[in-house]
Amino acid sequence: MTITARYADPAATLHVTSEIVTLQLAHRSVRRFTPRPVTDDELAALVAAAQSASTSSNLQAWSVVAVRDPQRKARLAALAGNQRFIDQAPLFLIWVADLSRVHRLADAAGTGGVPEGTDYLESTILGFVDAALAAQNAVVAAESLGLGTVFVGAVRNRPEQIAAELGLPPHAAAAFGLAVGTPDPTEHAGIKPRLPQGAVLHHERYDAAAADAHIPAYDERLGAYNARHGLPGTWSERVLARLAGPQSLSGRHRLREALANLGLPSR
């Protein structure tokens, strides 16, 4: 059932599966939560799973800030697009691309050297990729424990203010947030269909024409899903609107400037 729901295609099949794959196929974003707190033990399990993700050269260039205080969550919600579920979720995790640790290592070494390699775009990307890999591991772990999550990219709308609210040191920036809690069973939601595999999977060489031939059918399927959940437009229409120009990026068009202000010049 989950494979057909994932692609909104009754003909979709998988001939190899597992409990983990089944769990991943059932993933959905949760934006309504019950009041039950996420326990310290559950948080520890999520972080352990996150730390088990791959990390480039074992640099582990990420950190996570766990926010439970209602007033701080409210302030973060205001900075991240006024999304109500941030307030409602019992736990809000801010995943940080963190190159500050290596600067502290250099200071502690007492050699006077500065890790100039952190100033380059490669290192900034590395921190964001490491954070994303860790967070996705945490999401799978959360769902295996009966918790629900939703990623929040809007913490990049106002990076400097988010950094100030969290007390982030120089050379660190919030990559995204993750609201975590027990899903509210009354939430009207479902498994959002993804592009057909033929649109994203290429063999040996990239074939744009073959991949894009799958988009009209997907637009029809996602349009039907959106209509059921009160959302306008097809996938193509929503993608083009989301990336129309700087005005559609909710402040993130100045992210390079913001990262430089936070000590990540990405040159």
Reported pTM: 0.96
* Mean pLDDT, residues 204-221 taken together: 98
Average pLDDT in the chain = 96
Q: Is residue 202 part of a domain?
A: no
Range of the domain at 174: 31-188+253-261
Q: Looking at the 3D structure of the chain, how many domains does it have?
A: 1
Q: What DSSP state is assigned to residue 253?
A: G
Q: Is residue 132 part of a domain?
A: yes
* Mean pLDDT, residues 156-181 taken together: 98
Q: Is residue 247 part of a domain?
A: no
User: Residue 86 in contact with residue 76, Cβ under 8 Å?
Assistant: yes
Q: In sequence order, what are the beta bridge partners of 152?
A: 177
Q: Backbone dihedral region of 147: left (phi > 0), alpha (psi from -120 to 50 degrees) or beta?
A: beta
- CATH assignment of the domain containing 158: 3.40.109.10
Q: By percentage, how much of the chain surpasses pLDDT 90?
A: 95
pLDDT at 112 > cutoff 80: no
Task: Give the closest residue to 174 by CA, choosing from 79, 253, 68, 41.
Answer: 79
When pLDDT is cut at 50, 70 and 90, the band that residue 248 belongs to is very high
Q: Is residue 48 part of a domain?
A: yes
Q: Is residue 228 part of a domain?
A: no
Residue 209 carries which side chain, given as an amino acid letter?
A: A
Question: How confident is the model at residue 131, as a pLDDT?
Answer: 98
Q: Is residue 243 part of a domain?
A: no
Q: Is residue 136 part of a domain?
A: yes
Question: How confident is the model at residue 111, as a pLDDT?
Answer: 72
* Mean pLDDT, residues 46-59 taken together: 97
CA 27 to chain centre: 13
pLDDT at 1 > cutoff 80: no
Q: By percentage, how much of the chain surpasses pLDDT 70?
A: 100
In the chain, which residue ranges form alpha helices assigned H by DSSP?
2-7, 19-25, 40-51, 70-79, 84-88, 100-109, 121-144, 159-166, 197-200, 208-212, 215-228, 235-242, 255-261
pLDDT at 256 > cutoff 80: yes
pLDDT at 113 > cutoff 80: no
Q: Is residue 158 part of a domain?
A: yes
* Mean pLDDT, residues 173-197 taken together: 96
* Mean pLDDT, residues 16-39 taken together: 96
* Mean pLDDT, residues 65-71 taken together: 98
Greater pLDDT, 113 or 61? 61
Question: How confident is the model at residue 114, as a pLDDT?
Answer: 83
* Mean pLDDT, residues 219-225 taken together: 95
* Mean pLDDT, residues 47-75 taken together: 98
